[in-house]
């Protein structure tokens, strides 16, 4: 009899929905159906049973083809690469558990690695802004129960975080928000009329690249100072009107995404948005939150922050100190400047997301990719080590976009004999110890 | 003053961290002792002697020591960083952190410098004959104290994020600058003799910015104040004075609000 597993955490996006139900086959090997998840979340669970899954490590041969090798061989090759390299980029981590990360960091400390996560091409600029000016934030629960002024700035949850709006930000009825959508005023600021904008009471179309100026205008208006007639294509009357409405709210929240973090000015856009949030707290209660993408990218920042004081791009290459400089110790810069000798990728796909120049540089270096599936990066790696899917075939801790830790659950068994990230990293760590004891660098 | 001459004899495989290349560390050392000082490339520790041929002994103190570097230094980081006295002349371009955290002395780069140079500079004279990258004279990541003293002059252009969180000193760019100059500035003086792209003085609290050329887009938080005759870095001219950033907090002095000042040459 197929059984139903309830209260599963969805390991796809930073919303980390915790109400997924799966029907699982008798032998505990196949997910038969998925309930409650959005389309992209359900797809993640369905991947588990895709035909043609790689279940053993593959090593590239001289003719460019891949040959299956044992886990032992792959682990030995990886450990030797890490020990030999003067500086290694250890990038990814956003789709694995915090437990696996901590083992990875232990390896990085020993071999002089630079640990970087997907924030580097995503919300890294938000993290810089937070380093510069701090952040007044809250949990998604508070948003659901209290927020009556909700701003989506440069983000489109309708597509990127599909259940965010129904679970937390627009539609749900909460303790102090009994009227649900009707009791909230929704604002969308974007250069395009997005599907999220369709749910908005007020859509503000900002000229591309003028977010910083518009946020500056909001702050200037909040202080009652004069403004030019239009800012970034938005008439000043509109700016004064919106600011007045925000001040009248009981609890406001700004959600922001790539439209702020990866348009002109990057961290400065977030910096000034945080400062607007701070200003609004002179009148009411206001918070701001990054719409984090990968389900556990927040966790990587948490673990790195807790261990080394920096949330991404942590340079441990000197082995006695942790350093961090966006523009220097960030993956793309390291690759483009040829500042590393080897690459270790885990739980992400830089081949699909990094600039071409960075990946051309990467393809010329010894590279190991650890990922449950074949992806763009595995195809330019020397070794691809498949592992169990975290959150589906093994559990582990993850952090939601509001920095709330949630323990993910195992739903089905991984294919026979397949290692988890934690098991694999533990064995690489042990092999590194052996090589170093035997006189490796 | 004693002169130590360093000739690059090997290009580093990665980037070489030259945090020991400054008059303070060299002071009181013979050429051979200087050659034995450490340099870093990730976990590989080498000596300066592996990458430079070093001649001449240093003076007894930093103030008595001059360092002249010849050869390609584009892959050398931290040259002249944290120096407090003496002189360093580099006949090449250099990489990141050149002259960062310097508190005194003279540093001359006869080429370009990369990003993060002159970070949190406190004193001394730092001159770049070519162009500078991003974050010139800015604060270190997460710090709220950028350049606070000394004179930093770039004869070419500079990148973006120049003088973020600047609190004192004087920074002159004789060419153009890119976006975000003087962001979060709380003191000091910036002079741009060419054009500034956009976002000049965003979130500025106090201090002065002079722009001789054009600003592509003005920040909405700036307000026209007056026209004034001024002499700026040897140039006498009429300037239009703006105050701002009106969206930012401002301190009060003797009951009067203190604003950041932006002067544009007429
Ligand atoms: S919104 Fe995100 S976490 Fe929730 S089901 Fe969809 S992909 Fe999964």
- The pLDDT score that the predictor gives to residue A52 is 86
Peptide bond into B245 cis (omega under 30): yes
Give the confidence band of A441 by pLDDT, cuts at 50, 70, 90: low
What is the Cα–Cα distance from A26 to A49, expressed in whole angstroms? Answer: 14
Nearest chain B Cα to A112, which residue?
B43
Task: Pick from A8, A10, A155, A257 the residue to mutate for probing ligand 1's pocket: most ligand atoms within 8 Å of its CB.
Answer: A10
pTM of the model: 0.96
Mean pLDDT on A301-312: 97
A441 touching B (Cβ < 8 Å): yes
pLDDT, tens digit, for every residue of B126-139? 999 999 999 999 99
Interface test with A, best of B141, B185, B245, B249 (most A CBs within 10 A): B141
**Chain segment A166-191, per-residue pLDDT in tens:** 999 999 999 999 999 999 999 999 99
Provide the percentage of residues in chain A whose pLDDT is more than 70. 100
Does residue B228 contact residue B239 with C-beta atoms inside 8 Å?
yes
Kindly list the residues from chain A whose CB atom is less than 8 angstroms away from the CB atom of residue B40: 318
Q: Measured in angstroms, how far is the CA atom of residue A292 from the centroid of ligand 1?
A: 12
C-alpha of residue A167 to centroid of ligand 1, in Å: 10
* Banded pLDDT at A304 (limits 50, 70, 90): very high
Give A37-83 pLDDT, tens digit per residue: 999 999 999 999 888 899 999 999 999 999 999 999 999 999 999 99
pLDDT given at position A1 = 84
Residue B14 scores a pLDDT above 90: yes
Rounded average pLDDT over A423-433? 98
In this predicted model, what pLDDT tens digit does every residue of A316-370 receive, in sequence order? 999 889 999 999 999 999 999 999 999 999 999 999 999 999 999 999 999 999 9
Contact in structure between B61 and B79 (CB atoms under 8 Å): no
Distance from CA of A38 to the nearest CA of B (A): 38
Ligand 1 touching residue A162 (CB < 6 A): yes
Separation of CA A399 and ligand 1 centre (Å) = 14
Sequence-distant (6+) residues with CB within 8 A of A321 are: none
Measured between CA atoms, the residue of chain A closest to residue B165 is A132
The residue of chain A with its CA nearest to that of B133 is A327
pLDDT band for A195, please (50, 70, 90 cuts): very high
How many angstroms separate the CA atoms of B86 and B107, rounded? 9
- Take atom 3 of ligand 1 and give the residue whose Cα is closest: A16
**Using CB atoms, which residue from A112, A216, A337 is nearest to B219?**
A216
Q: Which residues face B46 on adjacent strands?
A: B39
| Contact flag A340-B14 (C-beta cutoff 8 Å) | yes
CA of A401 to the centre of ligand 1 (A): 12
Indicate yes or no: CB of B199 within 8 angstroms of CB of A327: no
Compare CB distances from A220 to B44, B165, B247 and report the shortest one's residue: B247
How far is the C-alpha of B11 from the C-alpha of B43, rounded, in Å?
Answer: 17
Q: CB-based contact (8 Å) between A180 and chain B?
A: no
CA distance B108 to B87: 8
Indicate the pairing of strand A20-24 with strand A3-8.
antiparallel
Average pLDDT (A116-142) is: 96
Q: Which atom of ligand 1 lies nearest, measured to the CA of A13?
A: 2
pLDDT digits (tens, 9 = 90+) for B233-258: 999 999 999 999 999 999 999 999 99
β strands within A244-313, DSSP E: 251-256, 285-290
Residue A225: closest C-alpha in chain B: B246
First-to-last CA distance in chain A? Answer: 55
pLDDT in tens, B55-110: 999 999 999 999 999 999 999 999 999 999 999 999 999 999 999 999 999 999 99
Q: Does the CB atom of residue A13 touch ligand 1 within 6 A?
A: yes
pLDDT at A259: 96
The per-residue pLDDT for range A227-281, each reduced to its tens digit, is 999 999 999 999 999 999 999 999 999 999 999 999 999 999 999 999 999 999 9
Nearest ligand 1 atom to alpha carbon A15 = 3
Q: Which of A39, A163, A257, A398 to mutate to test the pocket of ligand 1 (most atoms within 8 A of CB)?
A: A163
Query: Which atom in ligand 1 lies closest to the alpha carbon of residue A164?
Result: 1
**CB-CB under 8 Å, B142 with A216:** no
Does the structure show a pLDDT above 90 at A439? no
Half-sphere CA count of A176, side-chain side, radius 13 A: 11
Inter-CA distances, A90 with A14, A85, A373, A382, Å: 22, 12, 18, 15
Strands B260-265 and B256-257: unpaired
Q: For position B257, what pLDDT does the model report? A: 94
User: Is residue A393 pLDDT above 90, yes or no?
Assistant: yes
- Positive or negative CA dihedral for A312, A315, A319, A321? negative
Domain ranges of chain B: 1-71+81-87, 112-265
Query: Quick one: average pLDDT of B210-220?
Result: 97
B86: distance to nearest CA of chain A, Å?
A: 28
pLDDT of A236 reads 97
Res B150 pLDDT > 80: yes
User: Best residue in B12, B43, B97 to probe A by mutation, most A CBs within 10 Å?
Assistant: B43
Q: Looking at the complex, does the CB of residue A323 fall below 8 Å from at least one CB of chain B? A: no
Protein residue with its CA nearest to atom 4 in ligand 1 = A17
**Token pair 């701002």 is at which residue?**
B244
User: What value does the mean pLDDT of chain A take?
Assistant: 96
Of A112, A216, A340, which has the smallest distance from its Cβ to B247's Cβ? Answer: A216
Which two three-digit tokens encode residue A246?
Answer: 């925000």
Residues 6+ apart with CB under 8 A from A122: A258, A261, A292, A293, A294, A297
Selecting from A87, A132, A223 the residue whose C-beta is nearest the C-beta of B247 gives: A223
Contact between A87 and A340 (Cβ < 8 Å):
yes
* Closest C-alpha to B146, from B179, B106, B186, B110: B186
**Which of B115, B142, B199 is nearest residue A265 as measured by Cβ atoms?**
B199
A148: pLDDT strictly greater than 90: yes
For residue A86, give the nearest of B42, B116, B198 by CB distance.
Answer: B42
The mean pLDDT value of chain B amounts to: 97
* Residue A295 alpha carbon, nearest atom of ligand 1: 3
Contact B40 A318 (CB under 8 A): yes
Which residues does B contribute to its contact with A (CB < 8 Å)?
A: 13-15, 40-44, 96, 115-116, 134-135, 141-142, 144, 165, 179-180, 183-184, 198-199, 202-203, 217, 219-221, 223, 245-248
């Amino acid at each position: 009899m197929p059984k139903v597993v309830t209260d599963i955490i969805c390991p796809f996006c930073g919303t980390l929905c915790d109400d997924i139900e799966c029907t699982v086959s008798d032998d505990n090997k196949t997910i038969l159906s998925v309930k409650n998840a959005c389309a992209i979340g359900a797809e993640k669970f369905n991947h588990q049973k895709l035909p043609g899954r790689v279940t053993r490590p593959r090593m590239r041969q001289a003719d460019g083809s891949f040959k299956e090798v044992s886990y032992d061989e792959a682990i030995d090759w990886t450990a030797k690469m890490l020990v030999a390299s003067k500086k290694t980029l250890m990038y990814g981590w956003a789709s694995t558990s915090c437990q696996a990360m901590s083992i990875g960091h232990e390896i990085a400390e020993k071999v002089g690695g630079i640990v970087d996560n997907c924030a580097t091409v995503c919300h890294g600029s938000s993290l810089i802004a937070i380093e510069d000016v701090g952040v007044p934030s809250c949990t998604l629960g508070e948003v659901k129960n209290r927020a009556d002024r909700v701003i989506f700035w440069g983000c489109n949850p309708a597509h990127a975080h599909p259940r965010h709006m129904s679970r937390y930000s627009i539609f749900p009825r909460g303790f102090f928000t009994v009227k649900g959508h009707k009791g909230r005023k929704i604002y969308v600021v974007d250069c395009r009329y997005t599907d999220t904008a369709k749910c908005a009471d007020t859509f503000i179309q900002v000229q591309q690249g003028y977010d910083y100026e518009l946020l500056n205008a909001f702050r200037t208006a909040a202080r009652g100072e004069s403004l030019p007639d239009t800012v970034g294509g938005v008439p000043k009357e509109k700016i004064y009107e919106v600011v007045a409405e925000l001040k009248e709210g009981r609890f406001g929240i700004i959600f922001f995404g790539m439209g702020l973090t990866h348009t002109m000015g990057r961290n400065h856009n977030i910096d000034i948005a945080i400062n607007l949030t701070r200003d609004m707290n002179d009148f009411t209660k206001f918070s701001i939150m990054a719409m984090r993408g990968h389900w556990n990218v927040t966790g990587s920042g948490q673990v790195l922050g807790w261990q080394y004081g920096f949330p991404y791009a942590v340079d441990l290459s000197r082995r006695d100190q942790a350093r961090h400089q966006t523009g220097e110790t960030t993956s793309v810069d390291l690759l483009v400047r040829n500042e590393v000798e080897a690459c270790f990728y885990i739980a992400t796909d830089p081949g699909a997301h990094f600039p071409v120049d960075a990946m051309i540089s990467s393809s010329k270096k010894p590279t190991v990719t650890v990922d449950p599936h074949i992806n763009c990066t595995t195809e330019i790696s020397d070794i691809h080590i498949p592992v169990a899917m975290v959150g589906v075939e093994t559990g582990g801790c993850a952090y939601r976009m509001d920095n709330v830790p949630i323990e993910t659950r195992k739903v089905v068994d991984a294919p026979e004999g397949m290692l988890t990230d934690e098991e694999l990293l533990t064995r690489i760590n042990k092999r590194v110890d052996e090589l170093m004891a035997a006189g490796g660098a | 003053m004693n002169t130590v001459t360093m000739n690059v004899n090997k290009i580093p495989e990665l980037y070489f961290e030259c945090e020991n290349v400054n008059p303070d560390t060299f002071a009181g050392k013979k050429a051979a002792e200087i050659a034995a000082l450490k340099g870093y490339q990730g976990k590989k520790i080498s000596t300066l002697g592996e990458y430079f041929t070093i001649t001449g002994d240093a003076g007894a103190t930093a103030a008595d020591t001059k360092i002249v570097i010849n050869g390609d230094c584009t892959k050398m980081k931290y040259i002249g960083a944290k120096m407090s006295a003496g002189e360093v002349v580099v006949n090449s371009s250099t990489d990141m952190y050149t002259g960062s955290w310097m508190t005194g002395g003279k540093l001359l780069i006869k080429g370009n410098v990369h990003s993060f140079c002159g970070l949190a500079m406190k004193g001394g004279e730092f001159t770049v004959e070519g162009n500078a990258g991003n974050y010139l004279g800015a604060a270190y990541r997460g710090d709220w104290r950028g350049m606070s003293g000394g004179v930093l002059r770039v004869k070419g252009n500079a990148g973006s994020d120049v003088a973020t969180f600047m609190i004192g000193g004087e920074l002159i760019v004789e060419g153009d600058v890119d976006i975000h100059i003087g962001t979060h500035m709380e003191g000091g003086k910036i002079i741009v003799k060419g054009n500034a792209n956009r976002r000049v003085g965003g979130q500025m609290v106090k201090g002065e910015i002079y722009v001789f050329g054009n600003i592509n887009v003005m920040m909405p938080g700036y307000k026209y104040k007056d026209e004034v005759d001024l002499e700026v870095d040897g140039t006498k001219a009429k300037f239009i004075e703006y105050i701002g950033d009106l969206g930012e907090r401002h301190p009060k002095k003797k009951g009067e609000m203190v604003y950041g000042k932006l002067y544009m040459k007429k």
